[in-house]
Amino acid sequence: MTEKTTYNIAVVGATGAVGQKIIQLLEDKNFPINELKLLSSERSAGKKVQFKQNELTVEVAAPESFAGVDIAFFSAGGSVSKKLAPEAVKHGAVVVDNTSAYRMDDEVPLVVPEVNKSDIKSHKGIIANPNCSTIQMVAALKPLQDVYGIDRVIVSTYQAVSGAGEAANDELVKQTKQFIANEEMEAELLPVSGDKKHFPIAFNALPQIDVFQENGYTFEEMKMINETKKIMHAPQLAVSATCVRLPVFTSHAESIYIEVETEGLGVADLWKVLGNAEGVALEDDPSTQSYPTPLSAANKEDVFVGRVRKDLDNDKGFHMWVVSDNLMKGAAWNSIQIADSLIQNKWL
């Protein structure tokens, strides 16, 4: 039997913010594609999308769409994934799912390739892509955990509106224009589409991302807590999170406090490990004001780390500032990396 060298790829949610980034990366990285199928809801079907020399038409996603598909990228919301991902698997596709639908399912690997690539091997047809704010955090934590051990993580996030989709981008633009024109800002979407109240995001900061849970944490905060433990294979790791939405279009930033297991470390010890870590770019020199920002990290693949400092009271405490493009490493790029691992390791 001859081995395949090109693959049939489907992108579900092809017209969304993440879907668009996936298509762009498939082209930029020259992904080995035989046939590319772009799928969406009925509302977006019929739209034309340019891919290399071809103009492709977006089709309505249905169970039979996945016949002959090798890898299907899903980023059309949790309900679409719940309905169609099992159908794709029945038709023989491997699903890389960008929604939260299967992330905490024990049967589904939750993967950041730099952190737990080998978990992909045990997939049963679906591999989950973690939450954007989780991905960039674990990319920075895992190399430190491997060398020094980590007991505890406390994170406060600074998240971009694009994490809530294209409509949230549009809302920030609209409100910004209203504010500059001295008009009242209309809030119709954020913090959470479908929740009871909406607040302006322009020139503001909203301490709510996703809906509130019984315990007073938001679902976004619980995602960061639970997904981090699963990806890092560290159920005993203490993780706490406060998630905040900012008037920023692209890139999430995170102020992360960790307690390491090793005594007597200094900033240089953390720099050494982070500087050599796969997928991590160290950008940390106070003498030249070098640190990452949401704008500087946008459209890049890496997870950028700066402002590494030792806690002044706790020998095992360190602070750092971690920034990454939430649509790239936080979504599309991580998905492409998973697909690439499937192919390279013959885990399809």
Catalytic residue numbers, as ranges? 132, 252
For a copy of itself, the closer CB: 320 or 336 = 320
Q: Assess contact for 305 and 108: CB atoms under 8 A.
A: no
When asked if residue 158 is in the footprint of a copy of itself (CB under 8 A), the reply is: yes
For a copy of itself, the closer CB: 107 or 311 = 311
Q: Assess contact for 85 and 108: CB atoms under 8 A.
A: no
When asked if residue 17 is in the footprint of a copy of itself (CB under 8 A), the reply is: no
159 annotated as a binding-site residue: yes
Nearest Cα to Cα of residue 293 among 256, 262, 252: 252
Q: Assess contact for 290 and 308: CB atoms under 8 A.
A: no
For a copy of itself, the closer CB: 113 or 200 = 200
Give the residue, chosen from 13, 130, 294, 330, that forms a contact with a copy of itself under the rule CB under 8 A: 294
Rounded-to-integer distance, Cα 300 and Cα 325, Å = 6
Give the residue, chosen from 167, 267, 273, 348, that forms a contact with a copy of itself under the rule CB under 8 A: 267
What is the signed CA dihedral for 31, 345, 88, 3, rounded to 10 degrees?
Answer: 80
Number of residues that bind a copy of itself (CB under 8 A): 59
50 annotated as a binding-site residue: no
Strand 317-324 relative to strand 303-310: parallel, antiparallel, unpaired?
antiparallel
Which two three-digit tokens encode residue 286?
């106070």
- H or E, element range at 40: strand 33-40
When asked if residue 319 is in the footprint of a copy of itself (CB under 8 A), the reply is: yes
Q: Assess contact for 225 and 240: CB atoms under 8 A.
A: yes
For a copy of itself, the closer CB: 48 or 197 = 197
- Site residues, a copy of itself (CB under 8 A): 152, 154, 156, 158, 173, 176-177, 180, 191, 195-197, 199-200, 203-208, 212, 215-217, 225, 238-240, 242, 244, 246-249, 253, 255, 257, 267, 286-289, 291, 293-296, 306-314, 317, 319, 321
